[in-house]
C-alpha cells in the first residue's frame, strides 16, 4: 500500500535560511505526489504537485520539490525562509488505479522560522 514518511515532526530555521522538508514515499506504481501547507485553524492549501511531468516542480510562495525515483523522495525546499512560512507542511500521495482520487498524507512537519 502507498504511504509517505515525513522525517522530522519539527524543523526550525532562521529567517533567510534554506528550508528543507523531507518526504519519502512508498508506491508500487508511479505516484502522484503533493505538498500541502496548513496554517493554524485552517484547511490545507496546495503548494505543488508532481504528476510525472518534470521532476523539478515549482510551486507557490517560492517553494519547489524534486521527484527522485531512485531515492523514492520528494523533498520540499525554499532558498530563503520568511516568517510567513511558519506553518505545518504535509506530503501526500495518491494510491493510483481505481483509488487515485484519494490522498494519503504523512504525519506532517511543523516549520518554525526564527527571526
Partner 1 sequence: DTGVSQDPRHKITKRGQNVTFRCDPISEHNRLYWYRQTLGQGPEFLTYFQNEAQLEKSRLLSDRFSAERPKGSFSTLEIQRTEQGDSAMYLCASSSDPNGYGYTFGSGTRLTVV
Q: Are 97 and 29 in contact (CB under 8 A)?
A: yes
Q: Is 102 in the site for partner 1 (CB under 8 A)?
A: yes
Instruction: Annotate each residue in 7-26 with x if it binds partner 1 (CB under 8 A) or - if it does not, as one string.
Output: --x-----------------
CB atoms within 10 A of CB 86: 17
Site residues for partner 1, 81-100, by CB under 8 A, read 90, 92, 94, 99-100
Chosen residue from 14, 28, 51, 55 binding partner 1 by CB under 8 A: 51
Binding site for partner 1 (CB under 8 A): 9, 32, 34, 36, 41-46, 49, 51, 90, 92, 94, 99-108
Amino acid at each position: 500500500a502507498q504511504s509517505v514518511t515525513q522525517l522530522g515532526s519539527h524543523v526550525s530555521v532562521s529567517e533567510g535560511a534554506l528550508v528543507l522538508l523531507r518526504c519519502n514515499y512508498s508506491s508500487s506504481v508511479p505516484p502522484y505526489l503533493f505538498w500541502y501547507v496548513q496554517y493554524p485553524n485552517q484547511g490545507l492549501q496546495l503548494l505543488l504537485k508532481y504528476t510525472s511531468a518534470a521532476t523539478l516542480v515549482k510551486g507557490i510562495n517560492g517553494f519547489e520539490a524534486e521527484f527522485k525515483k531512485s531515492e523514492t523522495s520528494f523533498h520540499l525546499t525554499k532558498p530563503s525562509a520568511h516568517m510567513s512560512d511558519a506553518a505545518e507542511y504535509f506530503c501526500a500521495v495518491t494510491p493510483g488505479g481505481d483509488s487515485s482520487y484519494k490522498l494519503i498524507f504523512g504525519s506532517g512537519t511543523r516549520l518554525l522560522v526564527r527571526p
